């Protein structure tokens, strides 16, 4: 025998069918009132577990997105640092070349 978990909507449908199958004397009720049935605890627990599962998946996806963003920012910062170091090295090389040129010019000016 296969067990089937019923959703609250299915339980409500079963309740309506059960009321329809009841004897006529049991059907004497105020049509303006609403009959609310609470699903069994195992159905409520299953629904809550399902909601918790998907909420946890959503939370995990958001955390992964934040981690990915942080990694991308770290990679960008490293790339900017590497560029800054390359710019500094190029500036130092130009400064060294300028000093060499100035010394050579000064030697050329000597008698």
Domain that holds residue 70: 8-27+37-109
Number of domains in the chain: 1
Is there a domain that residue 61 lies in? yes
Polymer length of the chain: 111
Is 47 within 8 Å of 7 (Cβ atoms)? yes
Mean pLDDT, rounded, of the chain: 80
For 81-98, how does the pLDDT look when each residue is reduced to its tens digit (9 = 90+)?
999 999 999 999 999 988
Largest distance between two CA atoms of the chain: 132
Q: Does the pTM exceed 0.75?
A: no
**CA 22 to CA 15: how far, in whole Å?**
11
Is there a domain that residue 32 lies in? no
DSSP 3-state helix, strand, coil percentages of the chain (rounded to 5)?
80, 0, 20
Is there a domain that residue 13 lies in? yes
Is there a domain that residue 56 lies in? yes
For 46-66, how does the pLDDT look when each residue is reduced to its tens digit (9 = 90+)?
999 999 999 999 999 999 999
Is there a domain that residue 59 lies in? yes
Is there a domain that residue 91 lies in? yes
Is there a domain that residue 2 lies in? no
CB atoms within 10 A of CB 39: 19
Is there a domain that residue 43 lies in? yes
């Amino acid at each position: 025998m296969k067990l089937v978990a019923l959703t609250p909507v299915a339980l409500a449908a079963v309740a309506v069918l059960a009321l329809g199958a009841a004897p006529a004397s049991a059907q004497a009720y105020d049509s303006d009132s609403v009959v609310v049935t609470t699903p069994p605890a195992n159905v409520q627990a299953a629904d809550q577990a399902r909601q918790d599962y998907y909420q946890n998946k959503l939370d995990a996806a958001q955390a992964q997105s934040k981690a990915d963003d942080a990694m991308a920012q770290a990679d960008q910062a490293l790339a900017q640092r590497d560029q800054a170091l390359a710019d500094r090295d190029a500036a130092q090389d130009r400064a060294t070349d300028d000093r060499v040129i100035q010394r050579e010019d000064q030697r050329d000016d000597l008698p």
